[in-house]
């Protein structure tokens, strides 16, 4: 056996050799082995000491030098606490007036409301809905979770925060304050999870 094989590979080779030797010994004529009694289920085999390991190799624990990705779960994980808190901030602003270019704390446009809400949790987002639509992780409409950002129109010109149950909280237009609307009330473009 070559000396460059690791200890575990050498042990595997020894075990394979022992198994093969036992199989051959079982079929050898009775002149080389003592015949087993007819009722015995197995034969005894003598294995030369050259095939036996001399001393057990020390156990070596594997070393992981890079993080291991968690296994995929069958059910989605719970939304992040910061994302849910940002959603609650936005819900707390229901009734605040819409004002184009406003980013709170008393008036908002759509991206201003989202930026303000996430900033309260220490999460910095771009200022415009179009820029926001390119950050984070893409999410399909079918897999939305509360706290996800939802974008509307083509090109993107509106953003809202998904709150669950097919509804979003958003600062819609100058004729409406911050409110809750049905997700289906506007043409869906994409969604992102931050």
Q: What is the DSSP string of 78-120?
A: PPPHHHHHHHHHHHTTTTPPB-TT-BSSS-B-HHHHHHHHHHT
Residues that are catalytic: 110, 158, 170
Residue with tokens 């820029």: 131
Task: Give CA–CA dist 149/163, Å, rounded.
Answer: 10
């Amino acid at each position: 056996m070559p000396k460059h094989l690791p200890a575990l590979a050498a042990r595997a080779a020894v075990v394979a050799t022992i198994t093969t030797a036992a199989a051959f010994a079982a079929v050898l004529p009775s002149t080389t082995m003592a015949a087993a009694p007819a009722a015995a289920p197995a034969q005894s085999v003598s294995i030369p000491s050259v095939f036996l390991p001399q001393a057990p190799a020390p156990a070596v624990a594997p070393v992981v030098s890079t993080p291991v990705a968690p296994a995929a779960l069958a059910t989605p994980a719970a939304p992040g606490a910061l994302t849910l808190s940002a959603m609650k901030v936005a819900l707390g602003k229901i009734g605040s007036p819409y004002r184009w270019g406003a980013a709170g704390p008393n008036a908002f446009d759509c991206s201003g409301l989202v930026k303000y809400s996430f900033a309260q949790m220490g999460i910095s987002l771009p200022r415009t809905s179009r820029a926001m639509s390119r950050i984070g992780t893409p999410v399909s409409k079918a897999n939305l979770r509360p706290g996800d950002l939802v974008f509307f129109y083509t090109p993107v010109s509106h953003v809202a925060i998904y709150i669950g149950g097919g509804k979003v909280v958003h600062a819609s237009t100058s004729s409406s304050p911050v409110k809750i609307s049905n997700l289906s009330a506007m043409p869906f473009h994409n969604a992102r999870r931050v």
